[in-house]
Amino acid sequence: MATTTTPEVLDESPGESPADHGMSPATNTGVSNEKLAMWSFLGSECLLFGALISTYFLYRGRSLTGPTPKNIYDIPYTSISSFVLLMSSLTMVLALAAIQRGDHRRLRLWLTATALLGTVFIGGQVYEFTSFIHEGLTMRTNLFGSSFFVLTGFHGVHVTLGIMMLLSLVIMSARGRLPQSKVQVVEIIGLYWHFVDVVWIVIFTVVYLIPSPVAHSNRPLQIR
């Protein structure tokens, strides 16, 4: 995205960028390039997760051997995990509101809470994966195992990366390297975090709550 170069738009001191003052450089779109880049990335992530969810959907009810979703899903347990991740979106947005007010103590508190809730979610996912493996479902067991572990595993990796970014923000803030002027850094990482939350909203419904068709088919998928 090309930035406008007209010198009269922003009153900048030599050697200082607009970002140093917590504002976006003037751009053709009126949106900072960093934020635009994150939204473009999230738009492309829709396609990635769309592919993974579609693959799971295509393979639903086509496994020739068990275990099947009906045998191993623990809906109450996954519901609590989903609730935890949903609430982490609340703590994330409260962290952003805190830095916008210049309240760094609450910023660190809410960021730490978000990272903690994310860790609880990942811990729950690790436990779920372990119990599934003990019940005989691995990536190589059947189509359900392959598509389930790839989909939820990819999501788990995204959450883990988000936790690492959140902890980096906490450390930066504790060292005084996250002044109020850098509010956009928190906002951009927050966008990423909310995105992994909305992806889980879809996964929870499509993968866990909507059951597989009863009639199984072992016919290969063919292009019509």
Partner 1 sequence: MTDSTDATSSTPQTPTAAGATTLTGSEAPAPAPADPGERHLVEEAVEHRRPTAEGGEHGAHPTDAQYMKIAAVLAAITAVEVAVYYVKKPLGFGFAPILITMAAVKFFLVGAFFMHLRFDNRVLRRLFITGIVLAIIIYLIVFLLLGVFSSTHGAHG
Contacts to partner 1 from residues 84-143, by CB under 8 A:
86-87, 89-90, 92-94, 97, 100-101
Contact residue for partner 1 among 2, 5, 8, 140 (CB under 8 A): 8
Shortest distance (Å) from residue 31 CB to partner 1:
5
177 binds partner 1 (CB under 8 A): no
Residue 21 or 138 with smaller CB distance to partner 1 = 21
Shortest distance (Å) from residue 124 CB to partner 1:
15
DSSP one-letter code for 208: I
Residue 5 or 134 with smaller CB distance to partner 1 = 5
Q: At a CB cut-off of 8 Å and minimum separation 6, what does 57 contact? A: 206
Question: How far apart are alpha carbons 160 and 107 in whole angstroms?
Answer: 20
Shortest distance (Å) from residue 24 CB to partner 1:
4
Shortest distance (Å) from residue 23 CB to partner 1:
5
Name 3's bridge partners: 27
Residue 14 or 44 with smaller CB distance to partner 1 = 44
CA nearest 83: which of 213, 201, 224? 201
For residue 27, give Cα distances in angstroms to 5, 6, 89, 121: 9, 10, 29, 38
214 binds partner 1 (CB under 8 A): no
Contact residue for partner 1 among 17, 29, 65, 131 (CB under 8 A): 29
17 binds partner 1 (CB under 8 A): no
Q: At a CB cut-off of 8 Å and minimum separation 6, what does 7 contact? A: none
Q: At a CB cut-off of 8 Å and minimum separation 6, what does 79 contact? A: 204
Longest dimension (CA), the chain: 70
Contact residue for partner 1 among 5, 11, 14, 15 (CB under 8 A): 11
